[in-house]
Each structure stands twice: as C-alpha cells, then as structure tokens.
Structure 1
Amino acid sequence: MAYTRKNITRLTATERRRFVGALLDIKRSGEYDEFVRMHIDYNTPDGESGLRTAHMAPSFLPWHRKLLLDLERALRRVDDSVTVPYWDWTRDRSTTALPWTDDLLGGNGRRSDRQVMTGPFAYRAGRWKLTENVTDREYLTRDLGRARDPIELPTAKDLEPALADPVYDTAPWDSTVTRGFRNKLEGWGPGQGKVSWRNHNRVHRWIGGVMVGGAAVNDPVFWLHHSFVDLQWTRWQQRHRNHRYLPADPPGERDAQYDRVVARHEQLPPWDVTPDELEDMSGIYRYE
C-alpha cells in the first residue's frame, strides 16, 4: 500500500518529533553520512569529463528520486510511520516559521560564522557533527535569504514555465539548454550570479551554508526541498501524460554527450535501476 508524503505544515507535533528522531538515529549509526558522501561523489558538473548523473543532466530528477527513496527506507526501518515531508517554498517563505522551528530543523546561522545554534541539528546539541564535507567545518551552517546580497525564494509564477513545458529535456542535455522541463526546474539559467539561479538552484542559494555545494545533504532541509522538487516532477507527469523522460536513446558516438548522460533504459549509477523504472512511483508513495 502506498504511503503519503505530507506538506511540512500538515505534520503534527508527534510526526515532527518522529521524523527528527529517525534522522538522528541514522546519523548516529553512520548511515546518514553515506548519503552525504554519495551526493558529493556524484556531483559532477557538465564542465568536467565523464558521466553526469546527479546534476546538469536529464537524470537530475530520477537520481534524486532514488536518493530520496533510499533515505526514506532507512528512516522507515527505524520508524515505519515516518515519510519525507515536503517544504513548499513558494508558500512558506519566512525565515522564522516552518520548517525553521526549534522542534524541526532549527533556525538560521549566527552572523559571525553562520553556525546553526538552535534545534536538534545544532552542533552544540551534540548529535549532528559533519563528518563528510567539502570543508573542515564540523557544524551545520545557514544564511537564510543571503544577508549580504539578499535574494527571494522562487514563486509559483517562477515554477510555471517549467511545469508548462511539455518536453522533458533537450540536447545537449546539460546546464545550457533553454527548453525542457528538467533544466527549467533544476534552475541553470543564462548570466552569472543570482540572476542565473532559478527554482531548485535558487532555493539552495537562498538557504546558503552547506546547502551550497556537493555536501548539501548535510543539512536535513535538503530532503524537504527535494521532496518538493520531486512533487513538481509528479505534477508535470500528470499534466503531460504522453511525454516521458528524455533522451529515450543514448547519444551516438559522434555526439559530444556520448557516454555523458543516462538514457531512459540505461542503468543510473550508482544503482541497478533505470530512469524508466523510476518514472511511476504511485505504488510506493503519493503526495498529500
């Protein structure tokens, strides 16, 4: 029977406590840090050679869908009532309300070093030391809204061009494409700096701290953010029922993207699963 992923605002106090408790449990066991390391290892930009799976590629959505599923299964082994909620950043835009409350994710980082000082994932609480990171910092950091150079979270109006595009992705299947749902949602735009950060990418930048970079999984908000991103894929699928993941076939040997992107029926590293097998999750979970 399919379980339900809820909007974070609809969780009861007990559900929040159990979600946090399950996260802390798999952190304590070391399993959580395996997810952090995997995201770091597969965070290959399209400016580098080799296969891209997690970002700047068509498989951005199925790759993170699978990562979410694996995290959720780990949490549910601890407590089978737990699912990964989603944070609707088009509606819940305050830096002090959910999900930034003391009983859930804690708040913003302090001004001096952006260290998160409140909530269950604060370093000083003794249960959330960063052991897999791209820097030597052991504590969680955030800079909600970017104090020195403020930006706003994306709106529903910002999401609409992605959801309205009936094509999943287009050649050259990277961060430069201007058509296609995937890159419009992932958020690689033209220009430099904050004008180029859209939708998914802009949320990472708005949160700041460890959420900017390959070690973003160190902040538990990563899962709430990507649960909402996954919901957008589900909504796009419902809106464009005759359209599928692309590319359907791998680029040819003479194509610059040969062996650099995952086609619909190819294995999606590091798992033995294909994007095709990850398109329909209705038998596993649904969104409320």
Structure 2
Amino acid sequence: MTYVRKDVSRLTRDERRRFVNALLQIKWRGEYDEFVRMHIAYYTSDGERGLRSAHMGPSFLPWHRRFLLDLERALQRVDPSVTVPYWDWTRDRSAMSVPWTDDLLGGNGRSFDRQVVTGPFAYVQGYWPIREGIIDAVFLTRDLGRARDPIELPTEEDLETALDDPVYDTPPWDSTCVEGFRNKLEGWGTGEDTAALHNHNLVHRWVGGAMVGGASVNDPVFWLHHAFVDLQWTRWQQRHGPGSTGYLPTYPPGPDSEQRGRIVARHERMPPWGVTPDEMEDVSWIYQYD
C-alpha cells in the first residue's frame, strides 16, 4: 500500500511524537549508527580514488532515495505509521521555525561549543550519543545560519534554477558540471566558501555542526532535508515529462575517460544494494508526497 511523506510543518502532535520515538528506538537498538557508517563509507569526492556513488556524480539522487527508503523501513519496523517528513527550506527558513522545535529536532547549538541542549536529541537527555563520526565530539552540534558569518538558506528561485534544466546530468559527471539538473540540485560550484555551494549543499552548511561532512547523518535533520531533495527529483520528472532524457549517463564512460569506473550509469548497480538508478526512478508505488 502506498504511503505519504508529509511536510514536517503539517505533522500532527501525535505524528511528531511517533517519528521522534521511532528514531530514538533505532538509535537505542544500534541500527541508526549503521546508517551513519554507511554514509561515511560512501562519501567519496572527486579528489579521491574509486567509485562516487553517493556524491559528486549522477547517482547522487537514486543512491539517497534508496538510503532514505532503508531508514524509513527501519522506522516502520518500530511503528508502521511513521514516514519520513520533508523540510521545505525555501519556506521554513528561520532557526525558530519547524523543524527546530523542542518536540521535534530541538534547536540550535549553544554559542561556545555548538552543542544542542534542547529537544529529544540533546546529549544531556542521554538518548542520542554520537558514536560514529569524523571528529571526536560525542554530542550533536549545530550552528544554524552560521552565527559568526551569517548565511541564508536557498530560495525558491535557487531551486527553480535546478528544476528548470531539462537534462538530468552532463559530462564530466562530477562536481564541476555547470549544466544539468543533478549538480544544480546537489549544489557544487566554483568559488570560495559558501559562494561555491547551492541548494542541497548550502543547506548542509546552513545547519552546520554535524551536518557538515560525511557524518552528517548524525543529525536527524539529514533525513528531512534529503526527503525534500528527493521530492525535487519527483517534481523535475513531472515537469519535464516522459519525453525528458531521464537518468544520464545511459552507458558507462569509454575506456579512455577519466570517469571510467568512477560513476554509475543508468543500468549499472549501485553499492551496497545492487539496485540500478533506473530501478529507483519511479517509486510512486511505494510512497508519494503530500
């Protein structure tokens, strides 16, 4: 039966409670940290060797779609009514708005160490220790809006620049692409600091703290953010219709290409699941968005 992912601002009080409780339960069971480890393991950049299945490549969207589904299924084993809500960061743009409430994700980190001390994921509550990471912090951190050098979340216009591009991705299929929906949404660019970040990437930087880097899954807002990113892929498909090119590249790069063995073509299998990007293009029989 198809289920619905809702805007987090429209969750009922009971739906908020159930979502938070399911997250805390899989953290207690040890399942949640497996998701953190997986994201760290597959966070491969242009400058590293090996396959880029999760980031800086065409499979950014189908990889994270499957990743979200795995998390959602883990939550539903605790409570079948739970789905992953999405955070519309073009509308809920303040550190005081949803989802930064005490009954959801808690608020900003305190000024001197960025530790989150409110809400159910605060370290002082004892339910959300950080066990997997790229730094030694044991508590969740945030720096919403980056207090010392403020930045803004992406706007509807920023998102529109990605949605309006009718081509899914273009050579060289990496973080340097200036055309194509995938990288305009993923948000790699040129320049320094936040001038080089757009849409998806800029949101990670705006949240700050644990959300910066491969261990970003440690902050539960990761899932709400990526559900909204996933929704944009659905909207892009709907906007450009069946006549659009769909996922690209269709075939792997040639033997002389620097991208040979570094990206996932349409019918190649994405690790660690063995599913292909084209198998993830239409999941409307599993879930839909409100």
TM-score grouping bracket, smaller chain normalisation:
over 0.9
**Structure 2 unaligned runs (5+)?**
none
Amino acid at match of 2:24: L
Distance (Å, rounded) in 2 between the aligned partners of 1:200 and 1:19: 23
Q: Which residue of 2 aligns with 1:59?
A: 59
Q: Which aligned pairs between 1:130-149 and structure 2 lie closer than 5 A?
A: 130-149=130-149
Q: Deviations over 1:151-201 (max 9, x none)?
A: 000000001110000000001000001000000000001111111110000
Q: Which residue of 2 aligns with 1:86?
A: 86
Distance (Å, rounded) in 2 between the aligned partners of 1:50 and 1:18: 39
Distance (Å, rounded) in 1 between the aligned partners of 2:289 and 2:255: 40
Distance (Å, rounded) in 1 between the aligned partners of 2:134 and 2:78: 28
Q: Which residue of 1 aligns with 2:230?
A: 230
Q: Which residue of 1 aligns with 2:248?
A: 246
Task: Give the match's secondary structure for 2:248.
Answer: coil
Q: Deviations over 1:214-259 (max 9, x none)?
A: 0000000000000000000000000112221000000011111000
Which range is displaced more, 239-248 or 84-93? 239-248
Q: Which residue of 1 aligns with 2:7?
A: 7
Q: Which aligned pairs between 1:148-159 and structure 2 lie closer than 5 A?
A: 148-159=148-159
Q: Which aligned pairs between 1:174-189 and structure 2 lie closer than 5 A?
A: 174-189=174-189
Q: Which residue of 2 aligns with 1:49?
A: 49
Task: Give the match's secondary structure for 1:131.
Answer: coil
* Equivalences, count: 288
Distance (Å, rounded) in 1 between the aligned partners of 2:78 and 2:56: 33
Amino acid at match of 2:231: L
Does residue 258 (structure 1) correspond to residue 282 (structure 2)? The answer is: no
Task: Give the match's secondary structure for 1:235.
Answer: helix
Task: Give the match's secondary structure for 1:286.
Answer: strand
Distance (Å, rounded) in 1 between the aligned partners of 2:41 and 2:151: 29
Distance (Å, rounded) in 2 between the aligned partners of 1:175 and 1:31: 31
Q: Which residue of 2 aligns with 1:273?
A: 275
Q: Which residue of 2 aligns with 1:195?
A: 195
**CA shift at 1:47, angstroms?**
1.0
Distance (Å, rounded) in 1 between the aligned partners of 2:50 and 2:85: 33
Amino acid at match of 2:237: Q
Q: Which residue of 1 aligns with 2:171?
A: 171
Q: Which residue of 1 aligns with 2:216?
A: 216
Structure-1-length-normalised TM-score: 0.99
Distance (Å, rounded) in 2 between the aligned partners of 1:255 and 1:147: 43
Distance (Å, rounded) in 1 between the aligned partners of 2:99 and 2:284: 26
Distance (Å, rounded) in 1 between the aligned partners of 2:228 and 2:88: 6
Q: Which residue of 2 aligns with 1:104?
A: 104
**CA shift at 1:48, angstroms?**
1.0
Q: Structure 1 stretches (4+) deviating beyond 3 angstroms?
A: none
Amino acid at match of 2:254: G
**CA shift at 1:49, angstroms?**
1.3
Distance (Å, rounded) in 1 between the aligned partners of 2:164 and 2:74: 34
**Structure 1 unaligned runs (5+)?**
none
Structure-2-length-normalised TM-score: 0.99
